[in-house]
Amino acid sequence: MKTFLTLLTLTITLMNAAIAQNGKYANVNGLHMYYEIHGNGKPLVLIHGGASTIQSTFGRLIPALSRTHKVIAVELQAHGHSDNRDGRQITFEQDADDVIALLQQLKIDKADIFGFSNGGTTALQIAIRQPALVDKLIIASSMYKRAGVAPGFWEAMKTPKFSDMPDIYKKEFLSINPSEEALHIMFEQCAHRMQQFKDIPDETIEAIQKPVLIVAGDHDVPLPEHAVEMYRRMPHASLALFPGGHGTFMGELAMLKEAHNPPVALPVIEDFLNTISPK
């Protein structure tokens, strides 16, 4: 265990070392929003998971993805380097509007969008709210309806425990913002959002006309059956299921102990992004 914790600390240190070179801020919708740009090429927006950061979600993918794309990785309200506005509750819709506003400021009128976990639900909202902005969509370990996860998830969410939050997320947050109070507020906001989770209507999902790659683990938080349902409802979707849990297939940092090395989903993701879509 000590060796593993040392490895996690070293990984965080190395990942955060890149931030000074790539980190930027923008004022969007009253939010002082942090983002990073890596590489050149077609814009690719990365949206992290709940209670996470750019590096803990995508740190092991960015070096490869930035070889072919201009990666624009964001940190959403209350997460990582971004502030918390006035402490109002976070929503998937507001997060989507914040990303849309950032891309407008950057004068990007079309981009591929890649969201993991809660970030995948935010990515769906971007495609719903601003479809012209989206070229391709990657939805990883995510859901659009409450039935997409086992009932026990919602039971646990009724009384969420801070102690259940992955230690690596706490360590990563505090390495950026040393405020324990801010960390607890972010946790409560994330828990409240999930408690209030509302289904996206099936017909809204079916109306997404973009090429979509749905990626999940066979022991993920969202059920494999839900990934299949999304795949069947979206008219231009592809599906990739991998052995493992929540993000192991892409090297998500909280799953580093179980993660595939190199991330087993990376070739599938790269192939999807780099293949020219039929007109």
What does each of the 279 residues of the chain score in pLDDT, given as a tens digit?
445 444 444 454 444 544 446 799 999 999 999 999 999 999 999 999 999 999 999 999 999 999 999 999 999 999 999 999 977 899 999 999 999 999 999 999 999 999 999 999 999 999 999 999 999 999 999 999 999 999 999 999 999 999 999 999 999 999 999 999 999 999 999 999 999 999 999 999 999 999 999 999 999 999 999 999 999 999 999 999 999 999 999 999 888 777 667 899 999 999 999 998 765
pLDDT of the residue at 262: 82
d(CA 142, CA 197): 13
End-to-end CA distance of the chain: 51
d(CA 47, CA 113): 8
| Topology of the domain comprising 2-274 | Rossmann fold (3.40.50)
Identify the three-state secondary structure at position 126.
helix
Average pLDDT of the chain to the nearest whole number: 92
pLDDT of the residue at 61: 96
Any residues with CB less than 8 A from the CB of 267 and at least 6 apart, and which?
none
Question: How many helices (H) and strands (E) in the chain?
Answer: 12, 8
Q: Smallest Cα–Cα separation from 170: which of 4, 12, 7?
A: 12
d(CA 28, CA 12): 27
Q: What angle do CA 156, 159, 160 make, to 5 degrees?
A: 75
Amino acid at 45: V
Could you tell me where the beta strands, DSSP code E, fall in 1-140?
23-28, 31-38, 42-47, 69-75, 111-116, 134-140
